[in-house]
């Protein structure tokens, strides 16, 4: 079916939608975040508990957002859910946060990992060639944007193929570690080793933030809901299938890491997967993982360039951003101006901030909006009982309540343990209120 002029055509099927969920999620996180988690939680059993907790929280959010995505299959995803549940101001604040913080931070963080690994593949130390790494990262963002402007089917095809490659790569790391690790220092005692220091609730909460960075992606397919075929059926299935697969993949990956290396070694190495493969295959193993990470991060960049510009497109269509961002390319039928803006913001941040600063900003900025969207379930059930709901969240109201409570807890914990950076992030979001009021007057 052809789309009307000024609208986006529905071309994404079930597997493309699942690939968006997994493709965006499996980026740099599972290759870099295990070190941060292990450095905060010194007990190997609690390390696995962090990853399980992050997966269960994400699954509760995925189950809840699936109901909203099926009932409101509109371009913009979280923006559309917030507008329907709470009105234009919360929806605008989400778009504002996407504009100034969220997507630029995510794009910059993932692109920086790509640049570092690309230089490392050629034997160049990115720490000693920081400018070169940033330039390569910026070029990767530009390439992803160009592919997405060219057409949603091309972008989705890149995500599908690269998602398959990186899932297979992680599977190879897991199988190699479990099958061959025994002759290369692997030991089941790594899972039961005593912690070097007790773990506080605050440290566990901060470690959870690192894990949630890797799980993020379950909401992103809802941003392209307006381009999904048969969205009432496809979106819930894709969101739930993708998130369940991520839990299994991440847990197996961390089991493999801990089997080959003690938790102290993981905490010291920012590249747990590369260190695991190097222990088994030597330098060739580390180089192979570097190539896998390059594929994984470029796939995530493509997924972000596919999903997040649709938020700006939806806001501009509502008159809350410059009208040019609602433009649809006359030939390629993509929101080219919104894609270009997303790329420029990502390039600006990748040239100025570190990986760790970018990822922490992303999680603290976006997950409260996820919780507010899930909370909209309760409001919409009460105020719009006649709304068609092809899918209803399993375990309502307990499942969405668990998700909302978990997000409130880890944001409050971040305010206590890292008050300065967390407060700055939240204040930047609230700075959107006067911008919204000015926009209304205009």
Is residue 213 predicted with pLDDT exceeding 90? no
Q: Is 82 domain-assigned?
A: yes
- Helices 103-121 & 336-350, crossing angle to 10 degrees? 60
Task: Identify the CA nearest to 325 among candidates 304, 305, 339.
Answer: 339
Is residue 155 predicted with pLDDT exceeding 70? no
Q: Is 220 domain-assigned?
A: yes
Task: Identify the CA nearest to 160 among candidates 339, 66, 335, 22.
Answer: 22
Is residue 2 predicted with pLDDT exceeding 50? no
Task: Please state, in angstroms and as integers, the Cα–Cα distance from residue 270 to each residue in 21, 78, 243, 355, 418, following that order.
Answer: 25, 32, 25, 11, 21
**Prediction pTM value:** 0.78
Q: Is 8 domain-assigned?
A: no
Q: Is 2 domain-assigned?
A: no
Specify the higher pLDDT residue, 400 or 329.
Answer: 400
Q: Comparing 54-63, 220-229, 242-251, which segment has the lowest mean pLDDT? A: 220-229
Q: Comparing 71-85, 86-100, 424-438, which segment has the lowest mean pLDDT? A: 71-85
Q: Which two tokens stand for residue 227?
A: 């381009």
Q: Is 369 domain-assigned?
A: yes
Q: Comparing 74-88, 206-220, 221-235, 424-438, which segment has the lowest mean pLDDT? A: 221-235
Is residue 4 predicted with pLDDT exceeding 70? no
Q: Is 9 domain-assigned?
A: no
Q: Is 268 domain-assigned?
A: yes
The DSSP annotation for 122-137 comes to TT--TTT-HHHHHHHH
Structural domain count, the chain: 1
pLDDT bucket at 95, cuts 50 / 70 / 90: confident
What residue numbers bound the domain in which 169 lies?
14-441
pLDDT bucket at 399, cuts 50 / 70 / 90: very high
| pLDDT, averaged across the chain | 82
Give the model's pLDDT for residue 54: 92
pLDDT tens-digit map of 280-338: 888 788 778 778 778 777 877 877 777 667 777 877 877 777 777 778 887 877 888 88
Residues 18, 35: Cα–Cα separation, whole Å:
28
Is residue 440 predicted with pLDDT exceeding 50? yes
Give the domain CATH number at 186. 1.20.1740.10
DSSP 418: S
Instruction: Count the neighbouring beta carbons within 10 Å of the beta carbon of residue 355.
Output: 18
Task: Identify the CA nearest to 290 among candidates 175, 122, 172.
Answer: 122
Residues 434, 33: Cα–Cα separation, whole Å:
36
- Asked if the peptide bond before residue 227 counts as cis, ω within 30 degrees of 0, the response is no
**Do residues 252 and 174 lie in contact, with contact meaning Cβ atoms separated by under 8 Å?**
yes
Give the model's pLDDT for residue 1: 44
Is residue 5 predicted with pLDDT exceeding 60? no
Q: Which residues contact 64 (CB under 8 A, 6 or more apart)?
A: 374, 377, 393, 399, 400, 403
Give the model's pLDDT for residue 304: 74
Read off the pLDDT of each residue in 17-28 and give the average, rounded to a whole number: 76
Q: Is 357 domain-assigned?
A: yes
**Do residues 423 and 415 lie in contact, with contact meaning Cβ atoms separated by under 8 Å?**
yes
């Amino acid at each position: 079916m052809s789309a009307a002029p000024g609208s986006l055509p529905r071309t994404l099927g079930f597997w493309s939608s699942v690939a968006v969920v997994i493709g965006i999620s499996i980026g740099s996180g599972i290759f870099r975040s295990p070190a941060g988690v292990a450095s905060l939680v010194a007990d190997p059993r609690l390390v696995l508990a962090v990853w399980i907790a992050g997966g269960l929280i994400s699954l509760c959010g995925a189950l809840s957002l699936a109901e909203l995505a099926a009932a409101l299959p509109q371009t913009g995803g979280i923006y559309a859910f917030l507008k329907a549940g709470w009105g234009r101001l919360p929806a605008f604040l989400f778009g504002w946060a996407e504009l100034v913080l969220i997507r630029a931070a995510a794009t910059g963080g993932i692109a920086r990992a790509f640049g570092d690994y690309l230089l490392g593949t050629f034997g160049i130390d990115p720490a000693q060639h920081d400018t070169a790494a940033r330039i390569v990262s910026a070029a990767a963002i530009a390439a992803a944007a160009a592919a997405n402007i060219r057409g949603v089917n091309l972008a989705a095809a890149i995500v599908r193929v690269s998602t398959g490659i990186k899932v297979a790569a992680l599977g190879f790391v897991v199988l190699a570690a479990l099958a061959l690790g025994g002759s290369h220092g692997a030991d089941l005692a790594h899972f039961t080793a005593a912690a070097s220091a007790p773990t506080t609730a605050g440290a566990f909460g901060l470690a959870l933030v690192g894990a949630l960075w890797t799980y993020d992606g379950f909401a992103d397919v809802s941003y392209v809901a307006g381009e999904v075929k048969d969205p009432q059926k496809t979106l819930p299935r894709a969101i739930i299938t993708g998130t369940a697969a991520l839990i299994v993949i991440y847990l197996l990956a961390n089991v493999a890491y801990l089997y080959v290396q003690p938790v102290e070694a993981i905490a010291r190495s920012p590249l747990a997967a590369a260190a695991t493969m190097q222990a088994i295959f030597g330098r060739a193993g580390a180089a192979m993982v570097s190539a896998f990470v390059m594929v994984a991060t470029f796939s995530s960049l493509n997924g972000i360039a596919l999903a997040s510009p649709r938020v700006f497109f939806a806001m501009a269509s509502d008159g809350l951003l410059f009208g040019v961002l609602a433009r649809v390319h006359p030939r390629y039928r993509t929101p080219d101006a919104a894609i270009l803006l997303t790329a420029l913001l990502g390039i600006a941040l990748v040239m100025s901030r570190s990986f760790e600063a970018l990822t922490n900003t992303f999680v603290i900025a976006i997950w409260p909006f996820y919780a507010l969207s899930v909370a909209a379930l309760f409001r919409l059930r009460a105020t719009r009982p006649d709304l068609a709901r092809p899918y209803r969240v399993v375990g309502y109201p307990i499942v969405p309540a668990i998700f909302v409570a978990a997000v409130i807890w880890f944001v409050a914990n971040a305010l206590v343990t890292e008050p300065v950076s967390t407060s700055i992030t939240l204040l930047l979001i609230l700075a959107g209120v006067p911008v919204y009021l000015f926009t209304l007057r205009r």
